[in-house]
Structure 1
Amino acid sequence: MSGLFALLDDVAALVRLTAASLDDIAGAAGRAGAKAAGVVVDDAAVTPRYVQGLKPQRELSIIRRIAVGSLRNKLLFIVPAALLLSWLAPWLLTPILMCGGLYLCYEGAEKIWEKLSGHAPAPEETNAEAAADPVAHEKKVVSGAVRTDFILSAEIMVIALNEVATEAFLARAIILVAVAIGITALVYGVVALIVKMDDLGLLLADRESAAVSALGRGLVRAMPIVLAVLSVVGVVAMLWVGGHILLVGVDELGFHPPYALVHHVELLVHDATGPLGGVLGWLTNTALSAVVGAVVGAIVVAVLHLLPRKRAHH
């Protein structure tokens, strides 16, 4: 009987140890997710523009496919690659992340160039393409969204990985999987809510209550403006995240002046603005990172678009 009690004591101790470990993992996952919150906002701002112009009944289907692609990116490619690289070649994480940042700068700058040069496809052209071959058009939309999401997801997971770098390998893997699932559900849940808000408005507008009906009509009128603003925010977010990745990357690789200058200006604004110093300092860092992203992206756009055109002309 004493042996049975001893065994039960051991089991109870193991349960307590397991519970404590799970609490530690949950806490670390929460910290890692909070660290990546800035990029999560970017991801939520970028995605709604991909469903603009699509039929309302297809919006949730497209978002679901993008969400599945995002989760597949994280669980099948990004998390295993990040864990493997952090174990075998941690020095490769920064250059790989910088390549992703360069792509984000290029995509953001290309959207601006298309808008300014008039090369962006007109809504009529997009609608005609969708009407001619809706399956191919949706596949193209989902492919572009998942490709951009891959870069943002990689940034999120690397930020999370850096936050839990001191944890054991198994704990790191569990934390990254938890962050991947939680952040994907959060981002695409918010995106689905945003893009279907006008349908909710139409539903409320038919209610008998005057106040509820007015709220519904207000939502319907506001949503095109909200989506247009989010489209702009999405482009700015790509430039911001891409520029920030490049600034931090070159700093970690040993070239300190660019990021040191940005950080110095951020501290000046922080110290000069009193109670608002934290917010204004962060905004300063964000704005300067976006400027860097725009400049780098413009260079890439020029190399890929303008220079070949000039050679063809000559």
Structure 2
Amino acid sequence: MMNPDAATFSGTPRSNETGSSESTRTFARDAIAGLTHHPKQLPPKYFYDAAGSELFEQITRLPEYYPTRTELGILRDRSAEIASIIPEHAALVEFGAGAPTKARLLLAACEFAAYVPVDISGDFLNAQARGLRKEFPHLEIHPVTADFTAPFHLPDQVAAMPKVGFFPGSTLGNFEPHEANRFLRGARDILGKGAYMLIGVDLEKNERRMYEAYNDAAGVTARFNLNMLARVNRELGGNFDLAAFAHRAIYNRERHRIEMHLVSKKPQTARLHGHSFAFRAGESIHTESSYKYSIERFNALAKGSGWTPVAAWTDPERMFSVHALVC
């Protein structure tokens, strides 16, 4: 799954939480397009209403879900090595920032001059920035409200500073490979020549360990997945019968990815905005992919996107990795 700090899935920013008519229209358009696609799918950014965000926070605390605590451990244990690589007095630019749990570790360990959190939810960013200013009174903090997967401009105040991008949480794995390449190229263009990038990447490992992380015994991930349909019903007037769908997460060995699905338990028809969607028994809605990498395959992706690998750190079990890149 994705970065718990960033409240993003599939490499896409969470949907705007303002409840505006425009965001509702976009949600409806995306849902209808996905449900008419073959095979059916729903954009994973719509996992995140208030209920979905709370459920994901619960997921990050589950014993089966290793990425959050493992990445935090790497950032904490290797902070001195990370600090020795990146330039002093640089601007830390976090793509898809939310609660700055992981950024806080870097800000405490490294001599950053500025922090630029980037996310689509401006109110949330500004609230987090107010707290960080009290904690780091000498740090310039310049929130940017933007879709971090699209081009955006950095604040003028950091133009002359060295840049360090930060993309934790294995969110890159939620991109399709061509999307991951496009994101890395876009980040390179935004940060500029000579910039560094710190990025979290989930590693290939024992398939049972990955399966259990997405099929927890308490059923929290199942409720999180089904909340997507609950949100369609609440916000768009859909009539999906949640009891007629089951959560399924599988490892696609050929494509090196975990896939999350909502599987129809029976033949049924659901309606949304005047559209009818027929389901066969066993037919699914694909809600998320999470690609797993080897160090070598990620380095190849980075090089193909215009970055040069500098270092990679893993936990002792080699379940997760944090990479330093330079362009």
TM-score range relative to shorter protein: under 0.3
Higher strand share goes to which structure? 2
Could you tell me the TM-score, scaled by structure 2's length? 0.24
Structure number with bigger Rg: 1
Higher relative contact order (CA 8 A, sep 6+): 1
Could you tell me the TM-score, scaled by structure 1's length? 0.25
Higher helix share goes to which structure? 1
